[in-house]
Structure 1
């Protein structure tokens, strides 16, 4: 089934939580070590809007959400108000079908007429697919933080990427 992309809705929250917690349990795409609760995710949900720089786009197949992309505040300092951090998460059965790229393309296009000027993203390593995704969307490599996090007793490095909103 071909996924359609749309703005996230509050009734997607349980599916978004399921996808995110899968990544908490199985890998290092997120540095959360414990699953997130629905109440915690409601607080997270409140940071997104249908307009402006902080967006949530979902990929849905029928009524089932199979992935999402977000643009979030990079830092809380006012000096960073024109910078957003983007991320993409897919359900396990949605990987390898081009949905991550489609989600990013839609999200990045929606940021063009907002106050966002710069987009940043971090990829926990190793993750060749995500590195390739970012490079294919016009991101450039900024640098790598080496062994700066530990999850499950294992040190994790991350490469950071950036690009202007308007390419």
Structure 2
């Protein structure tokens, strides 16, 4: 069974590798170049100063399989109970159901974290992620046509939301 473990500084190389591995496909992030490790360190430190955790996803063999984080939506106090989900499964662990398990665990944990709305920002051509979130009860709350100018093409961003 997959479980969450709070990310520690020693996990940052894994987190950065998994994230950077996702960039060439143009499915999961609007970054077009690999992020340097220093950027990941800054990101991690910012999360440590907030109540929006970063977790490592540990599989049944005890190995890291991916990571998940929450971020504040829009940075205004009235949106305090809304969080954006970021989830990246290592290429070698994709297709094993880890994303589904992680998202379902996160939904169960959301009330403890004071979250009443979860958001996913997913490219419209990323069918696996759209299916994953939709099957977990997320609905389309918005669509930004061709907002991302990626090396492959202009991409539409779909905003999925779930009330907890």
Q: Identify which range, 138-147 or 95-104, moves more after superposition.
A: 138-147
Q: Identify which range, 98-107 or 14-23, moves more after superposition.
A: 98-107
Question: Closer, same or farther in 2 for the Cα pair 1:3/1:114, shift >3 Å?
Answer: closer
Q: Is the 8 A contact 2:2 2:102 kept in 1?
A: no
Q: Does 1:135 align with 2:102?
A: no
Q: Is the 8 A contact 1:59 1:66 kept in 2?
A: yes
User: CA separation in 1, counterparts of 2:39 and 2:89?
Assistant: 20
TM-score (norm 2): 0.88
> 1:125-145, CA deviations, whole angstroms, 9 ceiling, x for partnerless residues?
212211111111111111321
Deviation at 1:4, TM superposition (A): 4.2
> 1:51-100, CA deviations, whole angstroms, 9 ceiling, x for partnerless residues?
94x12222234564221111111112222222110121111111111000
Q: Is the 8 A contact 1:71 1:107 kept in 2?
A: no
Deviation at 1:7, TM superposition (A): 2.2
User: CA separation in 1, counterparts of 2:96 and 2:12?
Assistant: 23
Which residues of structure 1 form unaligned runs of 5+?
none
TM-score (norm 1): 0.87
Deviation at 1:153, TM superposition (A): 5.0
Q: Is the 8 A contact 2:30 2:150 kept in 1?
A: yes
Q: Is the 8 A contact 2:104 2:136 kept in 1?
A: yes
> 1:83-123, CA deviations, whole angstroms, 9 ceiling, x for partnerless residues?
11012111111111100011112222222122222111111
Task: Give secondary structure in 1 for the equivalent of 2:113.
Answer: coil
Task: Give the alignment of 1:62-101 within 5 angstroms.
Answer: 62=61, 64-101=63-100
**Count of residue correspondences:** 163
Question: Closer, same or farther in 2 for the Cα pair 1:48/1:108, shift >3 Å?
Answer: farther
Task: Give the alignment of 1:17-56 within 5 angstroms.
Answer: 17-49=16-48, 52=51, 54-56=52-54
Question: Closer, same or farther in 2 for the Cα pair 1:160/1:126, shift >3 Å?
Answer: same
Deviation at 1:28, TM superposition (A): 3.0
User: CA separation in 2, counterparts of 1:78 and 1:135?
Assistant: 28
User: CA separation in 2, counterparts of 1:160 and 1:41?
Assistant: 24
Which residues of structure 2 form unaligned runs of 5+?
none
